[in-house]
Amino acid sequence: MSKEITITLVKKVIAGFYGNNPKRKEELERLGYDYYNVQKAVNEYLKYGKSSLISNNAISNKSLKTNISGKNLIKSFESCKLKAYKDATGTWTIGWGHTGTVDGISISEGMEISQGKADSLFVSDLKKFENKVNEYSEKYNFTSNEFSALVSFAYNVGGIKQLTQNGTRSKKAIADAMLKYVYSKGIKLNGLVRRRQKERELFISNSDDSV
């Protein structure tokens, strides 16, 4: 029995996530989908904005969560600061590497937060980057450690689209490419070198921690 077709799958096909034929057909069938029904659903969605073949209840893949090793890795490099500071790129930051705003207020000099708020922001930030990595989980079938290493990478860099070349790189190529992301404004930073090494070590580790 083939897997249910979701709106997420349809949008990924339209975006070219699975490439073009014959690669697309091979990849979708490998993942357990009926290629012809997927194509029909895509065509109907493009034409009508909907398709009866798209399930309202299906979930395209199990959403993975960052394991303990991944969380500890992130926190070991971000550290927690309850008073706003500028990071290596000159960006105002607070808590566990949180940037942007806190409760709608832009982070700036003099802002202070509680430990509880910092931990709350970490949870929400972690979820944001887990979602970004989960976009590729079905294609790669990540282990817990692979997923968690990539979440740490995304937490620091912003995502993994470039790292994975939009899902076209092999896992080995991804692990090797991690080590290239060690520059900030053209300057090689020792902290980023160490972080990338630790993320790669976790990514290729055979022993998975509990999620």
Catalytic site positions? 78
The token pair at 186 is 């053209």
Residue 1 DSSP class: -
Give 125-130 contacts, CB < 8 A, sequence gap 24+. 125/96, 125/97, 125/98, 125/155, 126/66, 126/71, 126/74, 126/151, 126/155, 129/154, 129/155, 129/159, 130/63, 130/64, 130/65, 130/66
Strands 183-184 and 105-106: unpaired
The token pair at 210 is 């509990």
